[in-house]
A and B are shown apart, each in its own frame.
Chain A
Amino acid sequence: MSKRLVAFDNIGIAFDGRVLLENIDMTISEGEIVTLIGPNGSGKSTLIRTLLGLQEATSGEVVRHKTLRIGYMPQKLHIDPTLPLTVKHFLALVRGVDKQQILPTLEKLGIAHLLQSQVHVLSGGETQRVLLARALLNRPNLLVLDEPVQGVDVNGQVELYNLIEGIRNELNCGVLMVSHDLHLVMAKTDTVVCINQHVCCSGSPQHVTGHPAYQALFGVPGADESIAIYAHQHDHVHDEHGSILSDDGDAHAHCKHH
């Protein structure tokens, strides 16, 4: 059985009395790809930050395996323009990095030519890959990717997803990914978890390869194998404040994992 890397045990987070997250139970194991989806302000980033130790949980506990080593790829990279920095120097900042690994890692991600480039001149897609390289150089057994395909076109998304899958297969690491899209997720995802303050639903994405509507939308070679449509199966609805609207008034009775 594969090792369980992280378990969120009934995590709740509140800010000034405002509830951001409640009753979050979720696990990530070695070799597993978990995609976290949810609307804006649903608490995805907060949950990730809790895992990373950047945010304290108000209640509950994040149980980390003693071997857990996280490679984190943030959503964006802002580096002050007054700081001259090449990709090589940026990657050499990884704590305890083996500098011999920098070039091979870049080669694996297809960006070896960027080694001497300044980080300020990278395009969106190049920046994502450099950030992925930094995450990998930390020798992780869990990759945490915050919206890895944000601002990348569909072709680029397919490439990135293929890269991530390749990395998972090679390292047998767990992958926790936040997706900005509610319906399109990486097809190789083992589990999709949809949260909106609490876990709304979770399950495996349906494979829709060959569906005419899908192909009409993404008639890109290879696209049909890397991106899948996730059909939500909610048994409740949220009002505009994110609170659960429920007939019987016992909303959380419905919030079980599917």
Chain B
Amino acid sequence: MQSRAMAMAALLELLTDQPVIICNGFPSREAYKIADRPTHFYMIGSMGSASAIGLGVALAKPKKQVVIFDGDGNVLMGMGTLATVGALKPKNFIHVVFDNEVYGSTGNQPTISNVVPLEKVAKAAGYVNVERVREREDLVYEFKDMLKKDGPSMLLVKVNEMVEDVGRVMLDPPDITKRFMQAIA
């Protein structure tokens, strides 16, 4: 199984100027290190809200494809949003869930995603395309496919617990807001 950072790097190579909302904890810090772009919105708190923020962007900017980089703990915390997305069916919504089955930013306490298949929950809630992948080549293939299709889509990527040696996001939150707003305007 690959690390989240490796999977994330593979996806970021396929993205250009799409808005990307990245959940709090290590995912934001890793994305910031791999490729910092003004179209990235790095979260530092409000766990569970990445998909709802992404939904707000997707509804307000229907011509832009919106990508969410989320985690299993985050999705479980904001699980109601799977239903809201499934009901509203924004076509421009791609929800990537890096599933390592632990709360990695607080010391690897287990989540329950080992027994709750989140992509099946998403499908039942009304997501149009859902896929679960492990290997890098499947990840790249499915993500490219989702970029071409109407959503909402969920790509669940099983990753290991490895964390990159990363610092914090060295941007002030109000500057992240301003920069992101200008970049997606």
Q: Do A and B bind each other?
A: no
Residues of B near any A CB (own CB < 8 A): none
